[in-house]
Amino acid sequence: MEHAIAWDDGAIVTIDQRALPDDHRPLRLTTIDELIDAIAALAIRGAPAVGVAGALGIALSAHLRAHEGELDEAGVRADAERIASARPTAVNLEWGVRRALSRVADGADAVLAEALALLGEDEAVNRAAARRAAEFLRARCAPGPLRILTHCNTGRLATVAWGTALGAIRELAAAGQVAEVLAGETRPLLQGARLTAWELAEEGIPHRLCVDSAGPAAIAAGMVDCVIVGADRVAANGDVANKIGTYSLAVAAGRAGIPFVVVAPESTLDSRTFSGSEIEIEERAAEEVTHHGGRRMAPEGTPVFNPAFDVTPSELVTAVVTETRTLVRGKEDGSGLPDRIADRIDVIPDFPNKGVLFQDLAPFYADAAIVRDTAAEMARAFRGKFDCVLALEARGFPIGAAVAQHSDVPLILARKPGKLPGEVISAGYGLEYGKDTLEVQAKGIPAGSRVLIVDDVLATGGTLTAAAQLVTGCGALVGGIAAIVELDALGGRAKLSSHEVFTVHHVA
């Protein structure tokens, strides 16, 4: 499929989305200022597309700042800051910038290679997410062609190719499963009217355009089977920032009991932002609202509220579908994380001793996304209740480190005997199979601090009880106890009843 954005010999080339659908005006950007203007003015728009533009911007900066084999790294970094802040809401922009910047020490060619890799991945990523979303909707909606409502533009113009939510619509349409798409016009810049209606017509997908306020009314009137939209940022708790007008569609969908599905690449998921309330919502110029087609519509000087995006709380989102997973939220299905964890654990009978069902977490740790999400979930469960993390040897180390990183707090390691230098504090414990001891350095846990103890499995509770003793032995407090898996039948939680315990996945 033709790419909406590309690199051509020291220039970023694309089409000016402001002039569409009638005027196909090519844009050739050769300076950082031109790129920033193009992003800020929405000549390049749509979260994945601005992510790619951001990465190519770093390549452009490196190209412009390389002289006789020497790259002005500080100059590239300064450009990176400016590019990343051209628009604040879509996390993809800073993601693309960061990814290309990660190669700056290797020179301009390496930066360009990284930016081109990111550009090259985009179509496959969108197609995979779109396929998953189509499958999800087939399973969720009544059989037969669907009446779909979408908002803004999430098609090939908003990405490099294919599109996210509109990609899912293409996928369904190709299988004869679209009865009609209702496209919201998307005031004030009309991405739905100018771009989505144009892309749908190009594909021959049956559609009608409606004013934004007709969307919730159409849902309430039973004219819509499902809502599919894209996203600009998905917070760790599942709250979704997307084009203004999305929230009212989600409320209407929730009330009508129809699926509200968000299709977005993994790069739109922002585990560093805990919830939607932390997402910066871009406010744009008053003229976008007061004027229409270059003519003023409101009285001169009318004060304006013009947020470009809104936040839909996770409880209104049926699923966030990415290229690698379908995150199902809401009451019927839980958070989806326990099921994903269950899929990533191999249960090995009679290991290491006869009668023990060993929970092998190797597949869990091999999946970066699930480790990240589990850490975010643990951090969320104990938010504001801990100042440091104590991770237990050995399989508690990686998840403990991920929780500490996520929460930006110090990590302390509790080790098996004889591994730590200097004065140590020890606590012995019985295991499901055998006995052991845990140690921390006496100076390791600051007195008075609140410690989140993190391990892989809560079985009999012996290890975690010993860890709690280490914490109190250092004069610190147990802020909480978190484990990935809990073996309910072994009753370990009862031993820890004086502490707050959170486990993500339960094995009966």
Question: Binding of ligand MRU at residue 322 (CB under 6 A)?
Answer: no
| 285 Cβ contact partners less than 8 Å away, ≥ 6 residues apart | 306
Question: Binding of ligand MRU at residue 323 (CB under 6 A)?
Answer: no
| 476 Cβ contact partners less than 8 Å away, ≥ 6 residues apart | 445, 446, 447, 448, 449, 450, 451
Nearer Cβ to ligand MRU (205/482)? 205
Nearer Cβ to ligand MRU (45/103)? 45
Q: Is the peptide bond before 188 cis (omega within 30 degrees of 0)?
A: yes
Question: Binding of ligand MRU at residue 248 (CB under 6 A)?
Answer: no
Pairing of strands 12-15, 5-7: antiparallel
C-alpha 492/C-alpha 508 separation (Å) is 12
Question: Binding of ligand MRU at residue 48 (CB under 6 A)?
Answer: yes
Minimum Å gap between C-beta 90 and ligand MRU is 6
C-alpha 373/C-alpha 420 separation (Å) is 31
The 173-212 site mask, x for binding ligand MRU (CB under 6 A), equals: ------------------x---------------------
482-499 burial, b for 16+ CB within 10 Å, e for fewer?
bbbbbbeebebbebbeeb
Minimum Å gap between C-beta 341 and ligand MRU is 29
Segment lying near ligand MRU (by CB under 6 A), choices 157-165, 341-349, 445-453, 469-477:
157-165
Minimum Å gap between C-beta 269 and ligand MRU is 13
Among 230, 259, 313, 396, binds ligand MRU (CB under 6 A): 230
Residue with tokens 């990284």: 114
186: phi then psi, degrees, rounded to nearest 5: 70, 70
Cβ distance 166 to 197 under 8 Å?
A: no
Nearer Cβ to ligand MRU (278/436)? 278
59: phi then psi, degrees, rounded to nearest 5: -65, -40
Question: Binding of ligand MRU at residue 96 (CB under 6 A)?
Answer: no
Report the residue closest to ligand MRU, judged by CB.
230
Among 71, 158, 311, 481, binds ligand MRU (CB under 6 A): 158
Closest CA to 212 of 289, 318, 126, 301: 289
Segment lying near ligand MRU (by CB under 6 A), choices 69-77, 153-161, 359-367, 446-454:
153-161
Segment lying near ligand MRU (by CB under 6 A), choices 196-204, 208-216, 229-237, 348-356:
229-237
Segment lying near ligand MRU (by CB under 6 A), choices 99-107, 226-234, 410-418, 419-427:
226-234
Segment lying near ligand MRU (by CB under 6 A), choices 40-48, 334-342, 352-360, 447-455:
40-48
Question: Binding of ligand MRU at residue 232 (CB under 6 A)?
Answer: yes
| 268 Cβ contact partners less than 8 Å away, ≥ 6 residues apart | 47, 48, 90, 91, 92, 230, 231, 232, 233, 234, 322
Nearer Cβ to ligand MRU (245/336)? 245
Site for ligand MRU in 257-316 (CB under 6 A): 308
Cβ distance 166 to 123 under 8 Å?
A: no
Nearer Cβ to ligand MRU (42/481)? 42
Indicate the SS3 state at residue 395. coil
Q: Which residue among the candidates 79, 212, 225, 232 is catalytic per the annotation?
A: 232
Indicate the SS3 state at residue 431. strand
Minimum Å gap between C-beta 12 and ligand MRU is 17
Closest CA to 485 of 367, 360, 387: 360
Cβ distance 411 to 439 under 8 Å?
A: no
Nearer Cβ to ligand MRU (322/326)? 322
Indicate the SS3 state at residue 384. coil
Indicate the SS3 state at residue 383. coil
Indicate the SS3 state at residue 4. coil
Question: Binding of ligand MRU at residue 479 (CB under 6 A)?
Answer: no
Beta bridge partners of 7: 12
Positive or negative: CA dihedral 378, 270, 117, 84: negative
Nearer Cβ to ligand MRU (48/215)? 48
Among 62, 71, 80, 90, binds ligand MRU (CB under 6 A): 90
Question: Binding of ligand MRU at residue 47 (CB under 6 A)?
Answer: yes
* 387 has catalytic annotation: no
Question: Binding of ligand MRU at residue 45 (CB under 6 A)?
Answer: yes
Among 177, 196, 237, 242, binds ligand MRU (CB under 6 A): 242
**Annotated active-site positions, please?**
232
| Residue ranges binding ligand MRU (CB under 6 A) | 42, 45-48, 90, 152, 154, 158-159, 164, 191, 230-232, 242-243, 308
